[in-house]
Structure 1
Amino acid sequence: MSAVRIERTGPDSAARMADVHAVCFQRFWSAGEIAAMMQMPTTLGLVARSGDATVGMALYRIAADEAELLTIGVVPERRGQGVGEQILWRGEHEAAARGARRMFLEVSTLNTAAKSLYLGHGYVQIGCRRGYYGDGSDALVLEKTLASDGQGSGSKLITPLSE
């Protein structure tokens, strides 16, 4: 299995990103939707590449001192291999380099793998949106304080998520 590279990307990668999104989510974003988001100067697009294949993707919005992870996905055959962690880590660093001091995201209470990833990276729950997703599941609102080097500035103590 070849190594994974995390690369910044633009609207020209929207189709590849949409392909990854489609295998990761029931309600996926089209290439047109992704390209439109990536036209905005506040959007950061990242792809994980293994050889010629796109195996993961993420979109972030960065404005002033705040950033939001809009979506992140890894193709099923590459899950559990650290690809999502690499994409998340790179996004945090890119956001911090652009002046963001806090990162926000939403995750379904049913997505145990993603919750574990975010908790392992120092995110803490700051809210809950009841019935947010199409399947009726709640969205946990998570936040992480970023230091100037992109790492969390808080302690390594992890606050458990409420279900």
Structure 2
Amino acid sequence: MFDQFPEPARSQLRAAFDEGRTRPEWCFTQGQARLAYWAPFPGSEPEIVWQFDPGSDPVAAAGLLRGSLEAMGLTKVIHDISLQPGLDPVVDRAVEHEALIEAGFTMEVERLLLEWVAVSDVPENPGRLTFHPARRMDPAEVIDILIRVSEGSLDHDTQVEVATSGAEKEARWMYDDLMSRKAKPDWFSIAYLGDSPVGLVAPDDHSIAYIGVVPEHRGHGYVDDLLAWGTRTLAEAGLQRVVAATDVANVPTADAFLRAGYSEVGRLYRYYWRAS
């Protein structure tokens, strides 16, 4: 089935298969339209329409989407369209947008795509916090911190998952996701002020995958400490480019990235489908 996709999608799908994140039976084609589903981490259910080439006919592509959703038996799916600043998916990816809407998806979130490059200064770590690798901690303790970080979160996906599935289930899913990332074992870390956990930061092999502060420590600029530590960790590992994303509505986090020397390089439009 992977051979029906053109390069570079074919090679990406084969690599994802080797990682346990997609399967041939998660791939569908109809005419010129092709799509493949993706699991966020090995062992999890597929929930991302990762490779989607709608061809030239949005109605046919929507039919392929609907048929694949029925065949997969899924209850929720997301699909992202990434664009350069100033572009609009309604205009600049019209066939893909129309296919998604026709298949019952809704565009709910606009996200900033951010980038730090090595020509920028590495943000200074203020030294207020100490960092402990999450992998060396009791999983229950890390999950508890993830639950606390989700309280009052401005992140849309976190808000939806906490409201529909509960904070503990969302935190356990996030723990499994972060532990599966391609990162050195000590990169995903919990930050402490003395004996009090302040928050967490999870760099992976190319990005800041997750960052958050617990409610009782918000308002003191600790997100800058977390981001400085995460960015410096990746810079010292030799990365020339670090990427990140945050909801446009999450102004405090977006501002923290800009203070740390990140710049906006695009927008991501996230579409959702949920079983009725």
Find the counterpart in structure 1 of residue 171 from structure 2.
Answer: 29
Q: Is the 8 A contact 1:58 1:72 kept in 2?
A: yes
1:97 to 218, 221, 236: 236
Pairs within 5 Å for 1:53-132: 53-62=196-205, 67-131=206-270
> RMSD of the TM alignment (CA)?
2.6
* Deviation of 1:15 (Å): 3.1
Which residues of structure 2 form unaligned runs of 5+?
1-126, 151-157, 162-169
Contact 1:12 1:35 in 2 (8 A): no
Alignment partner for residue 46 of structure 1, among 166, 189, 192? 189
User: Could you say what secondary structure the match of 2:232 adopts?
Assistant: helix
Q: Aligned equivalents of 2:268 and 2:209: distance in 1?
A: 16
**When you count helix as a share of all residues, which structure comes out higher?**
2
Aligned equivalents of 1:35, 1:115: Cα separation in 2? 21
Deviation at 1:49, TM superposition (A): 0.6
Q: Deviations over 1:91-132 (max 9, x none)?
A: 111111111111100101110110111111121111211135
Contact 1:4–1:48 at 8 Å: present in 2 too? no
Q: For residues 133 and 7 of structure 1, do their structure 2 counterparts lie closer, same or farther at Cα, with a shift above 3 Å needed?
A: farther
Q: Single out whichever of 14-23 and 49-58 deviates more from structure 2.
A: 14-23
Choose 1 or 2 for highest CA Rg: 2
Cα separation, 2, equivalents of 1:5 and 1:37: 25
Deviation per CA, 1:73-98: give whole Å up to 9, x if none: 10111112121111111111111111
**Shift of residue 22, structure 1, vs aligned partner:** 1.7
1-structure distance, mates of 2:236, 2:177: 23
User: C-alpha distance in 2, partners of 1:32/1:111?
Assistant: 22
More strand by share: 1
Secondary structure, aligned partner of 1:73: strand
Unaligned runs of 5+ in 1: 135-163
Distance 1:133 1:18 in 2: 26
Inter-CA distance 77–109: structure 2 relative to 1 (3 Å threshold): same
* Cα distance change, pair 86–132 in 1 and its aligned pair in 2 (3 A): farther
**Which of structures 1 and 2 has the larger relative contact order (alpha carbons within 8 angstroms, sep 6+)?**
2
Q: For 2:272 and 2:144, how far apart are their aligned partners in 1?
A: 21
Count of residue correspondences: 127
Tell me the secondary structure at the aligned position of residue 110 of structure 1: coil
Question: Which residue does the alignment assign to 2:142?
Answer: 17
Q: Which amino acid aligns with 1:126?
A: V
After alignment, is 17-26 or 122-131 more displaced?
A: 17-26
